[in-house]
């Protein structure tokens, strides 16, 4: 993190002063939710959608005394203004707050939830990831079919371990399968495979986080007459795809051109993928 300023429970403070008690349940149990987003042209992209998903996740965890969407939006904009970066990465965290003693029961929580907003400079992604694509591995970590897989909970240990596997293998991303051995998602991304011009992506019923970038790309694809099918994707369909790409809020659409040592399609970003990169980039210019 840079030496910037953070939002903590209603106040803008120097980052080093943005501290929570060790009794906070977010720290003790991962009992909370978060959202990550970024700015384009200094404006947060899909801000309202990220706030809605954050609050939806918080309500699924039955967190109480939550701020309104309008309050969160104002807090995010104030934190951006306090830091004055050209482009920003934003992380918004809500935990259940401090606990009065040990034990998993949410009834142990005291007071209001902790609200934290962190901002740091958003560095441009190198152009080569869009022209050459990413390499991925298949992680040994299985994406479980549990409530935490559907929301951005603070318990991200599985993703951390899968990302570590990718790093050890010299790869950019790790693809996790579900408990049935089908493709689920990456550590920070949703995955699409393209076959005969049709985009296929795991359905929301799968143990995936239904990404906002995923939803936007599906919308843009349909508007441009690219067929989209939400379906179970087998490992064979991944390896035999004509094209493959991943989506996440940091970079938008990133080609996936190799899984382990196997080229996907020609081993270069394909027509559908490059078209969607342009469509997504055009969308970011509209805010």
- Return the CATH number of 5-121, one of 3.40.50.10860, 3.30.413.10, 3.30.470.10, 3.10.580.10: 3.30.470.10
Q: Provide the 8-state DSSP code for 126.
A: P
Mean pLDDT of 258-281: 98
- Locate 14 and state its tokens: 């120097």
Question: Would strands 88-95 and 5-8 be described as parallel, antiparallel, or unpaired?
Answer: unpaired
132-150: per-residue pLDDT in tens? 999 999 999 999 999 889 9
Using 50, 70 and 90 to split pLDDT, how confident is the model at 256? Answer: very high
pLDDT of residue 271: 98
Report the top-level CATH class of 128-284: alpha beta
* Residue 41 Rama label (left phi>0; alpha psi -120 to 50; beta): left
pLDDT, averaged across the chain: 96
Structure token digits, residue 20: 């929570």
Q: Give residue 158's pLDDT band: very low, low, confident or very high (50, 70, 90).
A: very high
* pLDDT score for 111: 86
Q: What is the pLDDT of residues 104-125, one digit of tens each?
A: 998 889 989 999 999 999 999 9
Among the listed residues 76, 20, 29, 28, the one whose alpha carbon sits nearest the alpha carbon of residue 48: 76
Please report, for the chain, the start and end positions of each structural domain, with discontinuous segments joined by +: 5-121, 128-284
Length of the chain equals: 287
Phi, psi of 164 (to 5 degrees): -65, -40
Rounded distance between C-alpha atoms, residue 129 and residue 138, angstroms: 19
Q: Express each pLDDT in 67-101 by its tens digit.
A: 999 999 999 999 999 999 999 999 999 999 999 98
For residue range 195-221, what is the model confidence (pLDDT) as tens digits? 999 999 999 999 999 999 999 999 999
- pLDDT at position 2: 55
Model pLDDT for residues 47-64, shown as the tens digit of each residue: 999 999 999 999 999 999
What pLDDT does 40 receive?
97
287 pLDDT band (50/70/90 cuts)?
A: confident
pLDDT at 213: 98
Residue 186 pLDDT exceeds 70: yes
Instruction: Report residue 244 CA to chain centroid gap.
Output: 18
């Amino acid at each position: 993190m840079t030496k910037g300023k953070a939002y903590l429970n209603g106040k803008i403070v120097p980052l080093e002063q943005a501290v929570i008690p060790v009794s906070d349940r977010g720290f003790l149990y991962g009992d909370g939710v978060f959202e990550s987003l970024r700015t384009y042209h200094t404006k947060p992209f899909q801000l309202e959608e990220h706030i809605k998903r954050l609050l939806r996740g918080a309500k699924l965890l039955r967190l109480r005394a939550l701020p309104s969407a309008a309050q969160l939006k104002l807090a995010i904009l104030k934190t951006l203004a306090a830091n004055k970066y050209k482009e920003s990465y934003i992380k918004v965290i809500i935990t259940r707050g401090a606990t009065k003693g040990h034990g998993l029961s949410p009834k142990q929580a005291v007071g209001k939830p902790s609200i934290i907003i962190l901002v740091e400079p958003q560095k441009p992604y190198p152009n080569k990831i869009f022209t050459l694509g990413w390499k991925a591995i298949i992680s040994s970590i299985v994406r479980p079919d549990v409530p935490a897989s559907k929301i951005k909970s603070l318990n991200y240990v599985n993703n951390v371990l899968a990302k570590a596997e990718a790093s050890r293998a010299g790869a950019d991303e790790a693809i996790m399968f579900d408990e049935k051995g089908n493709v689920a998602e990456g550590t920070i991304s949703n995955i699409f495979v393209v076959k005969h011009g049709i985009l296929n992506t795991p359905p929301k019923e799968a143990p995936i986080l239904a990404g906002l970038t995923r939803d936007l790309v599906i919308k843009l694809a349909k508007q441009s007459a690219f067929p989209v099918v939400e379906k179970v994707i087998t490992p064979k369909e991944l390896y035999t795809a004509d094209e493959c790409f991943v989506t996440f809020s940091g970079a938008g659409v990133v080609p996936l051109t190799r899984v382990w040592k196997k080229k996907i399609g020609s081993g270069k970003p394909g027509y559908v993928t490059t078209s969607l990169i342009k469509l997504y980039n055009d969308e970011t210019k509209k805010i």
